[in-house]
Every structure is written in C-alpha cells, then in structure tokens.
Amino acid sequence: VTSLGLAEASNLAIYATMVTLTFAMIAFAISFAATRVSAPASAPALVPAGVGAPGALPEHGAAEVAPGIRSANIGMALTWLSFVLLVIGVTLRGLWADRVPWGNMYEFSITSALGILGVFLLWSLKRDLRWLGLFVVIPTLLTLGLSVTVLYTEAAQLVPALKSYWLIIHVSAAIICAGAFTVAGATAGLSIARSRAEVKGTAETGWTRNLPDAERLRILTYRVIAFSFPLWTFAVIAGAIWAENAWGRYWGWDPKETWAFITWVVYAGYLHARSTAGWRGDRASWIAILGLVAFLINYFGVNIFVNSLHSYAGV
C-alpha cells in the first residue's frame, strides 16, 4: 500500500465511523422516543430505594418498552462498530505519518473521539449504560465533524519540540481525560435534567424517564471524575516534566498550562463540592459541567485563538 493509500484509507475509515455513529445516534434517539410514548408508569411495585438501584431500560416494565430496548441494542452494536472503524482510522493515520497520531489538532481530535467512545464502551461492559448512549454519541459526532471540516490537516513531520517519548505519556493521559470528562459532563447534565424532573414530578413521564434517578447519575459522574482527576493531575505534571526537558522550565504560565491549571482547579472544586453539605446535588453537577467547559476552552480556544507554545502545525 502506498503511503497516500494509507491516508485515503484512514480518511475513509473516519467517514465510515461518522456514518455508523449517525445511525447509532438515530437508534439511541428512537429508543428514547419509543420508551417515552408508552406513558403508563408501570413502575415496579418495589422501587429499590437509595443507593444501588441500577437505572436501566429493562426496569421500566417489560412488554411496552421492547421496541425501545431493541433500538438501544442496535445503537450499542453500532457504537462498537464505530469504535472499531475509528481504531482503524486512527491507526492508519499513525502508520501513514509513521508516528503516534497526535501531532496536530486534527489527529488529537480523532483520537479524543476514540477516547470518548473507549471510556463509554469500557464502562458499558461493567454496567448497563444504554441510556447514556445518545449523550455520548452526539459529542463524539460533533468532535469528528469538527475534525474533518475545520481541523483537517495533511500529516506532516513532527515539529522537533514534539519528538519525545513524553508525547506518548502526556498526550495519551490527556486523551483519556478528554474522553472521561466528556462522559462526566454528559452524566452531570443528565443528572440536572433528571433532578429537575423529579422536583416537578415528571420524572417518570417526561423524557428523563429512561434515566437512572438523579442521585444515581450524580454518583456515576463522581466516579468518572474521581477516576479522571488524578489522571489529569498526572497529565499536567508529565507536561511540566516534558516542558522542563524541551523548553528549559517546568512551568511558564503558557496559556495551555494556565488553562490546564484552571481545569484542574474547577474539578478539584467539584470534588470538594461533593463532600460539602449544600453543594452535593445539582450545584456540584454544574461545577462538573464548568470543568468540561474549561477543558474545551483549553483545547479549542487556546489552540485556535491564542498564541501558545502548544499551537503546533498550523493548529
């Protein structure tokens, strides 16, 4: 295969991913709509209270939600297919460029999309996350769409400052964090929606019907952030070590460093809010969303609008 063939194959795989993900999104959306129409709240007689109530589609009665479950399953299958296609796309891109495919923003974005799907799918092996599918697939599709339209760049040689094994350590940690923060942002947003519905009394009839209860969603959000926060801390520290190696100082208030620190502080604030009376509920969830916003500003804003040492290879 010629190297140009690899590039085309990589692009094709990315486009194919977007197609299958779009179908996955439709399937998840249908599943949501289907369960929503069947209004009679046939809640099981014994609602498991408090912690440990697994929120999942099959709980809400059996017969009338069947079409919803079927299309949610189709959505999960398509998400797995998309994941495989995206792995192929990213790998081919790496083979073409002959390095890890994290040399510019396009490559980082498609790998982040892979990170989002990876975190979601790995987690879905442990518990039933079909209700979350729609809210993970949408940001993934947006990321991929932005990548192929705005951020696309031909693979070029790595700028010398990036030629280091720290590229693999620092950037892979950041990619996993990108995936986890996005998933946490989705569950935080859903927990707010669900808790509002619970207050209004429409939790079992409105669109949040398919979701686990708000407290469950908050615990899930907390777990994802508890996992990714130390990883983010590590990514920042690894970045500092690399910076000391490449630029001769480990912390220089470069915009990227500053925003990484802001993101870190916001998520630290979230963790504190979770253990502070009066802040545990929706307020903490809002902080989690704020953290994702800070992360996105760091990623898109700093690379595109600010002149930073992290602006490489065009973008």
Q: Which residues bind another protein (CB under 8 A)?
A: 50-52, 156-157, 159-161, 219, 222-223, 226, 229-230, 233-234, 237, 240-241, 244, 248-250, 271, 274-275, 312
- Closest approach, Cβ 193 to another protein, in A, equals 21
CA 19 to each of CA 8, 14, 22: distance values in angstroms, whole numbers, following the listed order: 16, 9, 5
Q: Residue 88 corresponds to which tokens in the numbers above?
A: 């192929």
* Exposed / middle / buried, residue 73 (Cβ in 10 Å: 0-12, 13-18, 19+): middle
**Nearer to another protein (CB atom), residue 219 or residue 297:** 219
CA 65 to chain centre: 28
- Closest approach, Cβ 198 to another protein, in A, equals 19
User: 131 with 210: CB under 8 angstroms?
Assistant: yes
- Transcribe 237-269 into DSSP letters: HHHHHHHHHHHS-S----HHHHHHHHHHHHHHH
**Nearer to another protein (CB atom), residue 78 or residue 302:** 302
**Nearer to another protein (CB atom), residue 5 or residue 54:** 54
User: 226 with 288: CB under 8 angstroms?
Assistant: no
Task: Match 């963790």 to its residue by tokens.
Answer: 271
- Closest approach, Cβ 281 to another protein, in A, equals 14
User: How many contiguous H segments (helices) and E segments (strands) does the chain have?
Assistant: 9, 0
**Nearer to another protein (CB atom), residue 8 or residue 249:** 249
- Closest approach, Cβ 120 to another protein, in A, equals 20
**Nearer to another protein (CB atom), residue 271 or residue 296:** 271
- Closest approach, Cβ 174 to another protein, in A, equals 16
**Nearer to another protein (CB atom), residue 83 or residue 242:** 242
CA 229 to chain centre: 14
Report, in angstroms and rounded to the nearest whole number, the Rg of the chain calculated over CA atoms. Answer: 21
Could you say which DSSP state residue 64 is in? T
- Count CA atoms within 13 Å of residue 295 on its CB side: 27
- Closest approach, Cβ 292 to another protein, in A, equals 19
User: 169 with 185: CB under 8 angstroms?
Assistant: no
Cα-Cα-Cα-Cα dihedral sign, residues 27, 32, 38, 40:
positive
- Closest approach, Cβ 293 to another protein, in A, equals 23
Residues 6+ apart with CB under 8 A from 230: none
Task: Match 């990170």 to its residue by tokens.
Answer: 115
- Closest approach, Cβ 212 to another protein, in A, equals 12
**Nearer to another protein (CB atom), residue 40 or residue 52:** 52
**Nearer to another protein (CB atom), residue 201 or residue 230:** 230
**Nearer to another protein (CB atom), residue 33 or residue 56:** 56
φ and ψ at residue 126, rounded to 5 degrees: -85, -35
- Closest approach, Cβ 234 to another protein, in A, equals 6
